[in-house]
Amino acid sequence: MNKTLKYALGAVLTAGIIAPAFGQDNFPDVPDNHWAYEALATMKKDGLLVGYPDGLFRGNRPASRYELAVAVHAAYMHMKNITDGLQTQIDEIKGNKGPDLKEIQDAIAALQADVNNMKGWGADIDNLKKMADQFQKELASLGVDVEGLKKDLADLAKRVGVLEAHRLPIDVHGDASLFMLAGGSASHRMGLTVDGRPVGVADKIFAGGTYVPVGMTQDTNVFHELGMRISGNNETGPKWHATLVTGNLLGPETTAGPGPSPYTSQSGNNVGSPFTEGPTSVYFQDFAVNFDTSIIGQGFSAELGRTGYSIDPYIFQRPDVTPYFQNDRWDNGKWMFDGGIVGFHFGGAKLDVFAGRQSNRRTTNNIDLQPMIAGTVARRYTPGGGRPTGLPNPDPAVGGVGGVPIDQHLGLNLSIPLTQNGKLDLAYIWLESNTGVDAAGNLTDNANPSLPAGGPRVANRVEVFGGDLKWNFGSIVFDGGYAQSNVKNGDTNVVNRDNFAWHAQAAYDTSRWGVQVGYREIMPLFGAPGDWGRIGMWWNPTDIRGPQASAHLNLSDQLKLTATGEWYTGVDRDVPGAFGAAASPGLNSDDHINRYTAELGYRLNEAWNVSVGAEWVDWDLKARPGFAGGKPRERWYNVGLGYNLSDMARLSFLWQFSYYNAAGTFGFKPPTQSGNGDPDKAGGNLLTAQLTVKF
């Protein structure tokens, strides 16, 4: 029965993925963050899954033979409808006598896309043929002509065999994006983005350190990027794939300004750095070979080359440092490295071993891709110091790295299923720097004179370990985890306390509404290479604890309201300096940071959608010796518009108004602006437009 279930699920899942997935309503008992969410949404849209009369999916319930028979027939009819439609498409093309060449070209392209989708059906048809024999009795009881079904499958297998015999040796697809950012000032004040960049400004006067507020016509940047995914079509032996990227989204790590200027910043610390178009870069984002085999009867898989991997936001996940640009390759959370991933299967459990080089993967204009920083050598923020923003910067020329720059790593990730209701992931990662850092957080390497002069090396390694537990209690889904980051110099511990984070949350969903509540605590010296969110402009915040909540309500089939709230206080712990410095007080339990978001989305039709939203961040920092306290405020208001030009092209717009008020708080004042009567305030506009075409 296990093999039968495997065949059925494999056939239905593969058939469901034939049509691209769009934002459709899913089963209410399947949470948005479930690994199968998109596949189930696609199958529901295509009519392959209908769920139960109450609208639920009930994925933890074992399937009956009749349910599997229905799934087999649904998959067969889905394939048959596609193949029957091919002749209709051909007849329409032949019958087109008009002069519109574009219409004919589009029709041929659509026909070719359907044919290409059929080329990989061979294994699925074999599975359906086996299932037709296995469930012959059940199919007959459903009124299915089983003999006709078998004949159709045999004919379909023959037709697909001809297609596969003529398939090209490689497959090429990808995406092309054109992206514009235009910033404008308001009331002679520049705006600030959620990643801390000033907008609506002219070129900075470096000597005076002053920005000049301007209109959108003077602060406009246009970016472009083309990503081509090339893969082999061989049926046997190792598979290979590569993604070649060219565009101007990247730029030099160091500029004359106070931080990196390209839009896709290397680590996200963009505070005080306006948007700037970079030079055209060409690079391979990935280039790898993968294969599956077995060792001593156990499943074994490997991917070698330039590849990527992620685990958990608190353990190992690349931050999304492009909040205004939407792209799957930039937003997938995978750290890319030159090395390999080896997977071992032990029954339902899987152990992944991943290792590689994290540095010196450079573009044609010598830009290092995705440099990683891990650990932390000091508390990220103490009241009375500079306002916390961004992520650690990999470039020592712009203020120190704030952690240990990673050149290579070795990691283990064990995934253990806990019956059908849960999963436990455990990870341990060793990360090492070739240079290390000194007590001030600057790179140091006496053998390399190109590095800035620094003191003795005090840290060159980071060990990150932790786990995450997910459990499904029917309509309630629980998720909780723990992570810790130890900083070392050789084998000697430098930071091994006040350096952990833990979180727990539970989600409940119905067909119309859902709610999630949780709590997290992130210690002052926690520094995993992860992506656990932001509070306004403070990315990957530390030294905080408090509850979180979110909710969504489907007001109608077209109208959806979502809202979130986060309420934090300081951890309230004096942390000794990592290298013998005096203890710093940091945030205490009397300090409060609250963040709220709200969004109302409306789907006008299948092509158009519109949204309005806002984000509010309120600080309440109490006075202490040497610091008078204060209540800074951050605000962003958004209007978004999206248009699906076709199944493979989308145009989107965002207008954002920002308002920032330091309220006299030391260290929180925005960058200096000419003509601004109130140096505590900033507020301006940002307009973005993105056209993405997939092929």
Q: Which pLDDT does position 257 carry in this prediction?
A: 35
Instruction: Extract the tokens encoding 75.
Output: 């998959």
Say if residue 162 is in the same domain as residue 201.
no
Structural domains counted in the chain: 2
d(CA 640, CA 324): 11
Domain final position from 145, 167, 189: 167
Residue 331: is its pLDDT beyond 60? yes
Q: Which pLDDT does position 18 carry in this prediction?
A: 35
Q: Which pLDDT does position 348 carry in this prediction?
A: 84
Q: Which pLDDT does position 23 carry in this prediction?
A: 35
Q: Could you list the residue range(s) of the whole structural domain that residue 158 is in? A: 2-167
Task: List the single range of 205-214, 441-450, 542-551 with lowest mean pLDDT.
Answer: 441-450
Q: Which candidate, 394, 622, 634, places its Cα nearest to that of 534?
A: 634
More confident of the two residues 585 and 136: 585
Domain final position from 148, 167, 186: 167
Chain position carrying tokens 């490997």: 302
Say if residue 121 is in the same domain as residue 227.
no
- The per-type count for the chain, helices as H runs and strands as E runs, is 8, 27
Share of the chain above pLDDT 90, in %: 45
Residue 36 binned pLDDT confidence (cut-offs 50, 70, 90): very low
Cβ atoms of residues 301 and 342 within 8 Å: yes
Task: List the single range of 75-79, 184-188, 626-630 with lowest mean pLDDT.
Answer: 75-79
Say if residue 156 is in the same domain as residue 178.
no
Q: Which pLDDT does position 8 carry in this prediction?
A: 44
Q: Between helices 2-17 and 65-94, what is the axis angle to 10°?
A: 30
Say if residue 214 is in the same domain as residue 112.
no
Q: Which pLDDT does position 474 carry in this prediction?
A: 83
Instruction: Extract the tokens encoding 127.
Output: 């599975």
For residue 492, count other CB atoms closer than 10 A to its CB.
9
Residue 330 binned pLDDT confidence (cut-offs 50, 70, 90): confident
Residue 83: is its pLDDT beyond 90? no
More confident of the two residues 454 and 521: 521
Say if residue 135 is in the same domain as residue 200.
no
Residue 293: is its pLDDT beyond 80? no
Over residues 396-400, the mean pLDDT reads 46
d(CA 269, CA 399): 11
Say if residue 189 is in the same domain as residue 316.
yes
Q: Which candidate, 672, 635, 686, places its Cα nearest to that of 200?
A: 686
Residue 512: is its pLDDT beyond 60? yes
Kindly report the average pLDDT of the chain as a whole number: 79
Share of the chain above pLDDT 70, in %: 68
Q: Which pLDDT does position 459 carry in this prediction?
A: 87
Q: Which pLDDT does position 118 carry in this prediction?
A: 53
Say if residue 559 is in the same domain as residue 584.
yes
Question: Tell me: the pLDDT tens digits for 215-266?
Answer: 998 999 999 999 999 998 877 789 999 999 999 888 654 433 333 444 554 4
Question: Tell me: the pLDDT tens digits for 88-131?
Answer: 655 565 555 554 555 555 555 555 555 555 555 556 666 666 66
Q: What is the pTM of this model?
A: 0.75
Question: Tell me: the pLDDT tens digits for 164-195?
Answer: 565 567 888 999 999 999 999 998 899 999 98
Q: Which pLDDT does position 468 carry in this prediction?
A: 96
Q: Which pLDDT does position 110 carry in this prediction?
A: 56
Say if residue 78 is in the same domain as residue 114.
yes
Cβ atoms of residues 376 and 522 within 8 Å: no
Cβ atoms of residues 626 and 666 within 8 Å: no
Question: Tell me: the pLDDT tens digits for 133-168?
Answer: 766 777 677 676 767 777 776 776 666 666 556 556
Instruction: Extract the tokens encoding 136.
Output: 């012959």
Q: Which pLDDT does position 600 carry in this prediction?
A: 97
When mean pLDDT is compared over 88-97, 252-261, 398-407, 417-426, the highest value belongs to 417-426
Q: Which pLDDT does position 161 carry in this prediction?
A: 64
Say if residue 157 is in the same domain as residue 216.
no
Over residues 3-31, the mean pLDDT reads 42
Cβ atoms of residues 463 and 428 within 8 Å: yes
Question: Tell me: the pLDDT tens digits for 553-584?
Answer: 999 999 999 999 999 999 988 776 555 555 67
Cβ atoms of residues 542 and 525 within 8 Å: yes
Q: Please give the helix or strand (H or E) that residue 165 lies within, else none.
A: helix 146-165
Question: Tell me: the pLDDT tens digits for 353-386?
Answer: 999 998 888 888 887 888 888 998 778 888 888 8
Residue 652: is its pLDDT beyond 90? yes
Say if residue 125 is in the same domain as residue 178.
no
Say if residue 145 is in the same domain as residue 210.
no
Q: Which pLDDT does position 179 carry in this prediction?
A: 95
Say if residue 24 is in the same domain as residue 140.
yes
Domain final position from 150, 167, 184: 167
Over residues 605-611, the mean pLDDT reads 93
d(CA 455, CA 609): 56
Residue 640: is its pLDDT beyond 80? yes
d(CA 48, CA 561): 29
Residue 436: is its pLDDT beyond 80? yes
- 350: Cβ contacts below 8 Å, ≥ 6 apart: 343, 344, 414, 415
Residue 78 binned pLDDT confidence (cut-offs 50, 70, 90): low
Residue 12 binned pLDDT confidence (cut-offs 50, 70, 90): very low
